[in-house]
Structure 1
Amino acid sequence: MLEGARILQQGVDDQPLYIDESPQFAEFLGYARETGFIGANRFEGFSRLSASSSVFANIARPYASALFDLANETKSVAEVEKNLSEMGALISSNADFSQMLSSPVISAEAKTIAIEKILAKAKFHKIVANFIRAVARNGRLFVLPTMIDAFGELCAKARGEISAEVISAAPLSKKQLGDLAKTLKTKTGKTVTLDASVDPSLIGGLVVRVGSQMIDSSLKTKLSAMKIAMKEVR
């Protein structure tokens, strides 16, 4: 069994699960306590932190990697990915559930009870159910959405795919998304999955992010550049 899977298996078999975490996380906890993020009556702001933040990503990565190793070893990657996607959709579509996962004022026992009810209804693969239980037991449910994203990225990488974030001023049609995916595939040489969202403030055009690269053809950016150019002329 691969090392990551072995570590995770220890956790899902009701044994202590300890995964080294980034020193940034300890720093973040100190900052959170000082600013009132932890200990406040309402836990606002923490759940709104970007899922791509280095703190969350550093915590999520070893969990996702261990789960991927175990799923790959048991030839259940596709089913695990599907189950996690369903869990992610539930979290993103239910504000109360999302807030519960991220709140430090809700007891671990209460969170575990809620998670068990969901797992009983969801009928997830045993690996997924045990993984979520291990995450809950370790007090890391607030990073679960990031773990789900990280697992999806590992699956996409294994399939030779890459993901691209597409932000437009108005919803794009299926044809437009298909054409964009084909164009990006030609440029990158890989199959591209699109994560599309809408931001009316762009006014027009697109913003496309692929990895660390960004193409910004939005009208908002062009107008901003024009304003800067006009100031320089003065």
Structure 2
Amino acid sequence: MTSQVAAAEIAQPYAQALLSIAQSKNLTEEIGEDARTLLSLLSENNQLQNFIGNPFIQSENKKAAIGRIFSESSNPYLRNFLLLLVDRRRIVFLEPILQQYLVLLRQLNQTVLAEVTSAVPLTEGQEQAVREKVIAITNARQVELETKVDGELIGGVIIKVGSQVIDASLRGQLRRLSLRLNQ
């Protein structure tokens, strides 16, 4: 818990600096997409995560890896930012920095993140219905969906927006029914 708080404290100014660079170059969305891609890559590849987080691997090797991951055609500002993190020995905080950048980008765009858990993958129409429901609840301009599939729900969805949870799952309905019957 304490390490998460420390990581958040370190990540905040770096994420703000990255957003400032992105705004000055009018690249906020492009860097946001690159950040999402990089976060996805890190979550799927434990070797890369361990390589970046290992303090015993020399900075030159980490810079070479960043150079291979981010070719010349990729965003030079993000690549240079990552190299700066290596120089400052803050690359270990890459995930919290990128996550915080996305939080700041959502605030800038008046976008909310809705975590949707469903029993089966949602169709495009169902995703749009969830977006409309979340916009009605939060008064946000846009909704970014993060979807997960959980077969234990039996049916329906659970939508989490910030600290608010809407449980429209069959499992949740059965649990509420059971509580009413036990009273």
Question: Which TM-score applies when normalising by structure 1?
Answer: 0.67
- CA shift, 1:109, in A, is 4.0
- CA shift, 1:220, in A, is 3.3
- CA shift, 1:132, in A, is 0.6
Distance 1:145 1:221 in 2: 32
In structure 2, the residue corresponding to 1:195 is in which secondary structure?
Answer: strand
Q: Deviations over 1:69-102 (max 9, x none)?
A: 1221232223322332332233233332123223
Q: Superposition RMSD on alpha carbons, in Å?
A: 2.6
- Partner residue, 1:123: 73
Percent of aligned pairs with the same amino acid: 28
Q: Is 1:203 equivalent to 2:122 in the alignment?
A: no
Distance 1:216 1:54 in 2: 29
- Partner residue, 1:91: 42
1:136 to 86, 93, 100: 86
Assess if the C-alpha contact under 8 Å between 2:66 and 2:79 holds in 1.
no
Residues matched between the structures, number: 182
Query: After the TM superposition, which residues 207-222 of structure 1 pair with which residues of structure 2 at under 5 Å, given as runs?
Result: 207-222=158-173
Q: Is 1:111 equivalent to 2:72 in the alignment?
A: no
- CA shift, 1:57, in A, is 2.7
Distance 2:82 2:166 in 1: 36
| Unpaired runs of at least 5, structure 2 | none
Q: After the TM superposition, which segments of 4 or more aligned residues of structure 1 sit over 6 Å from their partners? A: none
More strand by share: 2
Q: Is 1:164 equivalent to 2:114 in the alignment?
A: yes
- CA shift, 1:176, in A, is 0.4
Q: Deviations over 1:119-174 (max 9, x none)?
A: 2x263322211111112223333321222222122222212211111111211111
- Tell which deviates more after alignment, 74-83 or 147-156: 74-83
Query: After the TM superposition, which residues 18-57 of structure 1 pair with which residues of structure 2 at under 5 Å, given as runs?
Result: 28=3, 53-57=4-8
| Unpaired runs of at least 5, structure 1 | 1-23, 29-52
Question: Which TM-score applies when normalising by structure 2?
Answer: 0.82
Distance 1:103 1:202 in 2: 38
